[in-house]
Amino acid sequence: MNIIRNNKLLKNKSVAGFILKPNCADIKDIYLDIKKIFESFDIAVLLEENSANELNLKTGIEFNTLCKQSDFLVTLGGDGTLISVARRGFHHQKAVMGINLGTLGFLTDIMPNEIAAFLEKFIQDKYRIDHRMMIKATINGEEVVAFNDVVISRETVTGMITLEAFVNERLFNKYTGDGVIISTPTGSTAYNLSCNGPVLYPLTDAFIVTPISPHSLTQRPLVLPADFKISFKNRHNQSAIAIVDGHDTYELKPNDIIIIEIASSKAQLIHRSERNYFDVLNKKLHWGAN
């Protein structure tokens, strides 16, 4: 069975748009060294303006302009940096290469000391692009995209919230507890995993609905097809919040509704062709360890 799909490669790869981990000025020398390596392979390097400002460089380009002028994007940081860029650049549909300066590295699998070896294969088209499902969430009429998850949670430490859940506008459950995680397959190894949700292969298309500290022990994680429209209504006289990818927070008043659907496009991640997802799980989660 072929479990790597949609592996259409880049037509052009002569211009790379770099976005660096924010608030990390000490990576300037690392960036400049990596820039030289890219240029040694005849790949021009553009730098996003916020990153340039943090490094006191005068060569920064506004993010949307950077996306338009680049053949692909490169993040220098950790998984969080890559997720942020995938969301910000969603409408530009640029493939993203993640260089890992973080610790976990589920998504950013290329280390700085591996860049030259990887680019040698990259220019020979010996790489792959993974297409990862994203979520479109409509919150109080505003549409946002999520790479990992949308979390609906109680606003305060005390008390519980009750959420009515609908599939294709038909009530299927009520969740009472601390909240609910709606995750993509990629996000299944994030907050969903810590709440005993299932791990899904990241190239599948599905929603994972995982209750957070449910009041009833009968409530269990649920996997739903990605072509379903899922809605959550904030019931009773209670306040709640919606958190998108652990970053953006939205207030939910009583009777507010969140609509969850598959996004119209997918995130595109550049990886080594030999990268194996199950090896990543084994290494990062210590599966099979004694």
CB atoms within 10 A of CB 54: 18
Give the C-alpha separation, 137 to 221, whole Å: 19
Contact 78, 20 (CB under 8 A): no
**Is 130 a catalytic site residue?**
no
How many CB atoms within 10 Å of residue 277? 16
Q: What is the DSSP string of 172-234?
A: EEEEEEEEEEEE-SGGGGTHHHHTTPPP--TTS-EEEEEEEEESSTT---EEEETTS-EEEEE
Query: Of the listed 29, 42, 79, 248, which one is catalytic?
Result: 79
Residue with tokens 């303006």: 49
**Active-site residue list:** 79
